[in-house]
Amino acid sequence: MKFVNRIEEQKRLTTTLKSASPSFIVVYGRRRIGKSTLIKKVISPDDVYYMADQTERPHQIELLAKEIGLRFEGFDRVIYPDWETLFQALNFRVTERFTLCLDEFPYLAKSSPELPSLLQKMIDAKTLKYNLIICGSSQQLMQGLVLDSSSPLYGRASQVLKISPMNIKYLREQLNCTPVEAVEEYAVWGGVPRYWEIRLQSNSLKEAINFNLLNAQGTLYEEPYRLFIDDMRDIVQASTLLSLIGNGANRISEIATRANKPVTSLSGPLDKLITLGYIEREIPFGDNPKNSKKGLYKIADPFIDFYFRFIVPNRSLIELGRTDAVMEEILTRFHGYVAWHWENLCRKAISGQIFMGERYGLASRWWGNISRDEQMELDIVAESMDGKTLLVGECKWSENENTERLIKILTEKSAKLPFAKNKNIVPVLFLKSSKKSAENILLPEHVIEMIG
């Protein structure tokens, strides 16, 4: 699969590496997100790229010396007793600036706890004659190394890049599929380029799910647990929380009851899953995130969501080889599952965008009481930046909807909103397909373009 976008990240890295003095750059993000590929795209053949492993310090030093020896002849003929000796020797050999990348840096820091302090000393003394990039998949450890005020490397980086999942526009380009197919594919694979690459090895979405997820030997069958190993001490707890959330426990009280734990013990683990990008806490439009009591937890990452909705509850059947039964369940529930992620995509499309002449802020769901006896829910609510206009949206992942009827219902609902008084209301339909074309009817192709 060809290299996908990452134009902004490439630009930042290239600009920083070309700055007047040697740079210290930190790159991190979850496994398979494309960090190493990005770095290799930016650095030149004359630079040194080293992928660390989980071996002891002397072996790591020897392996790095061999990589450096490809750039500086004879460098690996010397035995270096420690990291400081190696870096001093490298500085001595440098006559023109180049870039050294230490990938999977947490492995090095684990076997050599003194390494961050050593790098800090070199950076502070301005003795480095080359650019240094450190990269890692353990988001927790990498954040701790550079964002924790107690860390030796805190505040030393010229550039800190967190590599995030890519948007649906690039998935559609890579899979060369229709907008509708792109939404369905994105609901399974999310924004991780490596998963798209794996998907391309199969002829259809169904075949790819069967081969990679509905098989105990499948490439992605254990994938979430590999991700969790990088960042969590208690993998069982993380898996339990994601299983509960993925299967309908969205309030913290519900999660606590089903996990048989006190509510107070879950705030930390849930916050950690939010920080890592696996879940999010959704609150109704207009509520204050800090004190809202209506917060609902949901899985933010499509691949993780698919896994904990369909794979985890059926692992016993999968390992017995009863994959037909599991696929039957997936196909039965798939429409509703995709509809859920279609809503999320539609909210992303509106957030911060100009639509029908107005720029809107963050789009959210809204639910609540409109009278003592009546509750209401809206898929999308967003306020214009000037505060005068309110966009309200209905999302449907189905065919042949009566658009006039939907607009009428949406307009009636909007009039009942407690915060809609004196606002200009713009009703918008987000539909899988529509025979009618109108400015306030958005289809998958429009949503994908707006996100991109």
CATH number of the domain residue 73 falls in: 3.40.50.300
| Residue 5, pLDDT above cutoff 80 | no
| Residue 82, pLDDT above cutoff 80 | yes
Is 127 in the same domain as 195?
A: no
Percent of the chain beyond pLDDT 90?
A: 89
Say how many domains are in the chain: 3
Is 262 in the same domain as 202?
A: yes
Report, as an integer, the average pLDDT of 135-146: 88
Give bridge partners of residue 375 from the DSSP assignment. 369
| Residue 56, pLDDT above cutoff 90 | yes
Is 152 in the same domain as 218?
A: no
| Residue 280, pLDDT above cutoff 70 | yes
| Residue 228, pLDDT above cutoff 60 | yes
| Residue 230, pLDDT above cutoff 90 | no
Would you state the pLDDT for residue 143?
85
Is 176 in the same domain as 323?
A: yes
Point out the domain boundary residue: 102, 137, 162: 162
Is 213 in the same domain as 334?
A: yes
Q: Is residue 1 part of a domain?
A: no
Tokens of 73: 């002849």
pLDDT in tens, 294-340: 999 999 999 999 999 999 999 999 999 999 999 999 999 999 999 99
Is 359 in the same domain as 293?
A: no
Q: Is residue 81 part of a domain?
A: yes
**Using an 8 Å Cβ cutoff, are 302 and 189 in contact?**
yes
Q: Is residue 418 part of a domain?
A: yes
| Residue 40, pLDDT above cutoff 90 | yes
Confidence of residue 144 (pLDDT cuts 50, 70, 90): confident
Would you state the pLDDT for residue 100?
98
Point out the domain boundary residue: 293, 309, 344: 344
pLDDT in tens, 104-126: 999 999 999 999 999 999 999 99
Question: Which position has the token pair 């200009």?
Answer: 424
pLDDT in tens, 402-443: 999 999 999 999 999 989 989 999 999 999 999 888 999 999
Is 191 in the same domain as 277?
A: yes
The span from the CA of 337 to the CA of 205, in Å, is 15
| Residue 50, pLDDT above cutoff 60 | yes
Is 214 in the same domain as 151?
A: no
Is 195 in the same domain as 334?
A: yes
Q: Is residue 207 part of a domain?
A: yes
| Residue 374, pLDDT above cutoff 70 | yes
Question: Which position has the token pair 């040697």?
Answer: 22
| Residue 367 half-sphere exposure toward CB, CA atoms < 13 A | 10
Percent of the chain beyond pLDDT 70?
A: 99
pLDDT in tens, 169-207: 999 999 999 999 999 999 999 999 999 999 999 999 999
Do β-strands 354-355 and 358-359 pair in parallel, antiparallel, or remain unpaired?
antiparallel
- The pLDDT mean for the chain works out to 95
Point out the domain boundary residue: 105, 132, 162: 162
The span from the CA of 425 to the CA of 383, in Å, is 10
Is 150 in the same domain as 39?
A: yes
Is 249 in the same domain as 185?
A: yes
Report, as an integer, the average pLDDT of 236-261: 95
State the residue range of the domain holding 362. 349-451
The CATH number covering residue 382 comes to: 3.40.1350
Tokens of 172: 């559609």
| Residue 1, pLDDT above cutoff 60 | no
Would you state the pLDDT for residue 371?
81
Q: Could you write out the three-class secondary structure of the chain?
A: CCCCCCHHHHHHHHHHHCCCCCCEEEEECCCCCCHHHHHHHHCCCCCEEEECCCCCHHHHHHHHHHHHHHHCCCHHHCCCCCHHHHHHHHHHHCCCCCEEEEECHHHHHHHCCCHHHHHHHHHHCCCCCCEEEEEECCHHHHHHHHHCCCCCCCCCCCEEEECCCCCHHHHHHHHCCCHHHHHHHHHHHCCCHHHHHHHCCCCCHHHHHHHHCCCCCCCCCCHHHHHHHHHCCCHHHHHHHHHHHHCCCCCHHHHHHHHCCCHHHCHHHHHHHHHCCCEEEECCCCCCCCCCCCCEEEECCHHHHHHHHHHHHHHHHHHCCCHHHHHHHHHHHHHHHHHHHHHHHHHHHHCCCEECCEEECCCEEEEEECCCCCEEEEEEEEEECCCCEEEEEEEECCCCCCHHHHHHHHHHHHHCCCCCCCCEEEEEEEECCCCCCCCCEECHHHHHHHHC
Is 190 in the same domain as 261?
A: yes
Q: Is residue 47 part of a domain?
A: yes
Tokens of 335: 């429409």
The CATH number covering residue 321 comes to: 1.10.10
Would you state the pLDDT for residue 2?
62
Q: Is residue 2 part of a domain?
A: no
The span from the CA of 299 to the CA of 89, in Å, is 48
Would you state the pLDDT for residue 181?
99
The span from the CA of 159 to the CA of 164, in Å, is 16
pLDDT in tens, 255-271: 999 999 999 999 999 99
